A = this chain, B = another copy of it.
Amino acid sequence: MVCENFDYSTFNNNHGELENDRRKKIAIVGGGNWGSAIACVVGKTVKKQSDVFQPIVSMYCRDSRKPGDKSPSIADTINSTHENSKYLPGRRIPSNVIATTSLLDACSSAHILILVVPHQGIPQICSELNGKLQPGAHAVSLTKGISSSPDGAKMKMRLISEDIEQALGVECSVLMGANLAGEVADGKFCEATIGCKSLKHGEELKMVFDTPNFRIRVTTDFEAVELCGALKNIVACAAGFADGLGWAYNVKSAIIRLGLLETKKFVEHFYPASGTEGHAYFESCGVADLITTCYGGRNRKVAEAFIKSDKPLQQVEKELLNGQSAQGPPTAQDVFEMLEMHEISARFPIFESVHKIFVGEHCEQNLYDAVRNHPDYD
């Protein structure tokens, strides 16, 4: 469901008068490429809505310096130069975004947490923040991946937003969509989808992110939104393999379509109540993000280089991503293990083949057969 008409006069202030301490404070958790691009957007939107949001946005950037390294931290660099020269060089981060290496300093007074860290970093972040947040705070996750929780002998499928909700005790929405970080930071036009549990939070988050050049739509179909964001990275790896192998346009389009169908099937299997009408797939998080990622994203790039060389994945990532990693390969592994545990991997041959190519168990021909003999054609 998409709702656009939320009454902010009531939401902001029931008493007709704004007090400073009723304005919402925003914290960004994550100082990578995407976190920095989002800081460029959010720094500007809060300044324009100073009746609703506190003008200072805090931004947690992990101190990744090795012991003895005397160079400034990323947080220091951002605060002095207003640029993340390591992960988003050449783009100005607004000066009302104040970076810090202290997670608690960044988050303890915040009402809205924007989580933009790799999946692997989530447990540590949540454990440090547990019990330290403002009452009524809520979060939005921009992290792509899937999680799991013990369920007898099997593992139960979990969303990362569910992990965050459980670990922090706050409601967690998601933001996914067709947005390459550099283009977003440059203020080029793009779209995104917010998947939320309550429209009150969804519409508040729309105010945080929406600009004339960053158009946001809100839907309560949050499971499909989050899984579109996670699984598209696997499809993009398949698309990257196709590019690396010199396959034709028609094949790549078939891979993207079949990948979208596997995504839909995955959502339907694990969250049968979500996405039944298929709306999420027509949102930016669906078909648009898939196209952007399969043509312009880092997962496509890494997969293309991986299949063309004999280098290990880590080496390829190191050469291409400047210290960051691609989320497709670990998501493919997590998804494949989940499918195996639930004995349904045969229905997802593209997801399976992507994982097996990365771990050396499949070759080019297996992927081609996964496409040609896809169960969708039966």
Q: Is A250 on the interface with B (CB-CB < 8 A)? A: yes
Q: With A178-B253, A253-B292, A282-B257 given, is the CB distance from A215 to B248 under 8 Å?
A: no
Q: Is A256 on the interface with B (CB-CB < 8 A)? A: yes
What is the bound-complex CA distance between A213 and B369, given in angstroms? 10
What is the bound-complex CA distance between A79 and B286, given in angstroms? 48
Q: Name the residue on B nearest A289 (C-beta).
A: B253
A296 touches which one: B179, B249, B277 (CB < 8 A)?
B249
What is the bound-complex CA distance between A247 and B278, given in angstroms? 29
Q: Which residues does chain B contribute within 8 Å of A215, judged by CB atoms? A: 254, 372, 374, 377
A291 touches which one: B186, B282, B283, B291 (CB < 8 A)?
B291
Contact: B183 with A250, CB < 8 Å?
Answer: yes
Contact: A253 with B377, CB < 8 Å?
Answer: no
A284 touches which one: B4, B180, B254, B264 (CB < 8 A)?
B254
Q: With A183-B249, A249-B295 given, is the CB distance from A254 to B372 under 8 Å?
A: no
Residues of chain A in range 339-378 having any CB-CB distance to chain B below 8 Å: 368, 371-372, 374, 376-378
Contact: A256 with B188, CB < 8 Å?
Answer: no
Q: With A282-B264, A372-B213 given, is the CB distance from A191 to B288 under 8 Å?
A: no
Interface string of A290-333 (1 = CB under 8 A from B): 01100110000000000000000000000000000000000000
Contact: B183 with A256, CB < 8 Å?
Answer: no
Q: Is A212 on the interface with B (CB-CB < 8 A)? A: yes
Interface string of A240-272 (1 = CB under 8 A from B): 000000011111111011001100100000000
Q: Is A236 on the interface with B (CB-CB < 8 A)? A: no
Least Cβ distance of A244 to chain B in Å? 16
Q: Is A201 on the interface with B (CB-CB < 8 A)? A: no
Least Cβ distance of A148 to chain B in Å? 28
Q: Is A234 on the interface with B (CB-CB < 8 A)? A: no
Q: Is A8 on the interface with B (CB-CB < 8 A)? A: no
Contact: A248 with B183, CB < 8 Å?
Answer: yes
| Most chain B Cβ neighbours within 10 Å, of A253, A283, A372 | A253
Q: Is A39 on the interface with B (CB-CB < 8 A)? A: no
What is the bound-complex CA distance between A281 and B13, given in angstroms? 44
What is the bound-complex CA distance between A254 and B188, given in angstroms? 12
Q: Which residues does chain B contribute within 8 Å of A251, judged by CB atoms? A: 188-190
Q: With A282-B261, A291-B291 given, is the CB distance from A250 to B178 under 8 Å?
A: yes
A-B contact pairs, 10 of them (CB 8 A): A178-B257, A183-B248, A183-B250, A189-B247, A189-B372, A190-B248, A190-B250, A191-B254, A260-B282, A278-B282
